[in-house]
């Protein structure tokens, strides 16, 4: 859909050129706000989940059997929120950029294997010119060669890093499903965070905490009255946008899907070939003056004037006869007996449904 809109609105090409950056910036705002308010990521808050810090306590020998399993959960600390944003936003962005660099390097190597690499001769020719321009060209060449070396190293290392990351993620999810660990990802395990479902009391505490945070932010406003009023209006708009971000995101997904269907169907209609109605059948062949006349009853054979037995058609004219009659006639005269058009026995076809 973005490509269709970009074709109709050229200024959207700039957005498409930096779509990873725009998406990461949007996710940074949403994830930071969600972790600050609800102690959960944006996706986890949609399902009523919360992140809790896991603290393991050493059991004493005289501890009661109903004292728990030695794991105590509490709210997230500040550094855990920051690191959660890193795992939720920064690392996926870095992974997407590495993937794009890997694809570009792979395409470049494929083109070089097919058409040859002509960049080396151009780079060597830059050393020939003298003066300041040669120094500038040498610096640019050294920089480009360094970037190419880095890209080659990333091209070699990225598949192993990607396979290790995907394998570790699969292993954690499998162990989590088998109840072998309480962490479903390596990032949560490294941060010591459990994801659990929020209780009703936690939801009430979250709403009260949101109101306290916003009241404190309004109290910290400084400046003349008109500036405070402007700041309050901006804060109110920001709070409203963040409060309805979840509902707005769901509505936006449905809207974009509808727009994608709309533009896709329009493009298909424009690119689809024109469908013309089927041509009318050719006119029926005329009966020759010297040919055998047709009987009024269509079930009668024109040759033997009896009801047709094993009806067969002459494809060159379309008239139906008895198989024995038409085979004998065509073998002898090499023509259709009604239209006198040239025919042979290979143009006789058996009919299995006689009208």
Contact 285, 318 (CB under 8 A): yes
Q: Which structural domains are found in the chain, ordered by start?
A: 2-56+70-216 (no CATH), 287-355 (3.30.40.10)
How does pLDDT run across 247-271, given as a tens digit for each residue?
Answer: 777 787 778 777 777 767 655 666 6
What is the rounded CA–CA span in Å between residue 216 and residue 118? 64
Burial class of residue 100 in the structure, from the number of CB atoms within 10 Å of its CB (0-12 exposed, 13-18 middle, 19+ buried):
exposed
How does pLDDT run across 151-171, given as a tens digit for each residue?
Answer: 788 888 888 988 998 999 999
**Per the confidence metrics, is the pTM higher than 0.75?**
no
pLDDT for res 171: 93
Residues shown for the chain:
355
Which residue carries 């040919």 as its tokens? Answer: 291
How does pLDDT run across 20-32, given as a tens digit for each residue?
Answer: 888 888 888 888 8
Kindly report the three-state secondary structure assignment for every residue of 201-253: HHHHHHHHHHHHHHHHHHHCCCCCHHHHHHHHHHHHHHHHHHHCHHHHHHHHH
Higher pLDDT, 207 or 344: 344
Range from 88-92, 267-271, 305-309 carrying the lowest mean pLDDT? 267-271
């Amino acid at each position: 859909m973005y490509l269709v809109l970009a074709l109709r609105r050229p200024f959207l090409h700039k957005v498409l050129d930096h779509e990873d950056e725009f998406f990461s910036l949007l996710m940074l705002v949403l994830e930071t706000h969600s972790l600050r308010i609800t102690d959960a990521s944006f996706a986890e808050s949609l399902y009523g989940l919360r992140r809790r810090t896991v603290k393991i306590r050493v059991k004493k020998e005289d501890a009661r059997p109903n004292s728990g399993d030695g794991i105590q959960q509490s709210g997230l600390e500040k550094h855990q929120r920051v690191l959660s944003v890193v795992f939720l936003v920064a690392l996926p962005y870095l992974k997407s950029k590495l993937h794009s660099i890997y694809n570009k390097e792979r395409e470049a190597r494929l083109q070089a294997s097919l058409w040859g690499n002509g960049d080396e001769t151009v780079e060597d020719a830059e050393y020939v010119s003298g003066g300041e321009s040669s120094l500038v060209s040498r610096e640019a060449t050294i920089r480009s060669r360094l970037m190419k070396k880095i890209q080659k190293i990333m091209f070699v290392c990225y598949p192993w890093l990607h396979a290790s990351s995907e394998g570790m993620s699969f292993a954690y999810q499998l162990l989590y499903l088998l109840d072998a660990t309480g962490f479903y990802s390596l990032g949560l395990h490294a941060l010591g965070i459990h994801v659990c479902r929020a209780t009703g009391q936690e939801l009430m505490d979250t709403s009260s905490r949101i109101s306290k945070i916003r009241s404190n932010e309004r109290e910290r406003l400084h400046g003349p009255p008109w500036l405070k009023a402007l700041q309050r209006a901006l804060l109110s708009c920001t709070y409203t946008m963040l409060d309805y971000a979840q509902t707005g995101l769901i509505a936006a997904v449905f809207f974009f899907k509808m727009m994608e269907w709309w533009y896709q169907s329009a493009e298909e209609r424009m690119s689809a070939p024109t469908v013309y109605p089927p041509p009318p059948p050719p006119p029926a062949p005329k009966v020759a003056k010297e040919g055998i006349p047709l009987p009024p009853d269509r079930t009668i054979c024109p040759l033997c004037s009896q009801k047709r037995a094993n009806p067969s058609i002459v494809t060159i004219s379309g008239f139906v006869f008895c198989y024995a009659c038409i085979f004998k006639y065509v073998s002898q005269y090499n023509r259709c007996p009604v239209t006198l058009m040239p025919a042979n026995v290979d143009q006789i076809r058996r009919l299995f449904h006689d009208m």
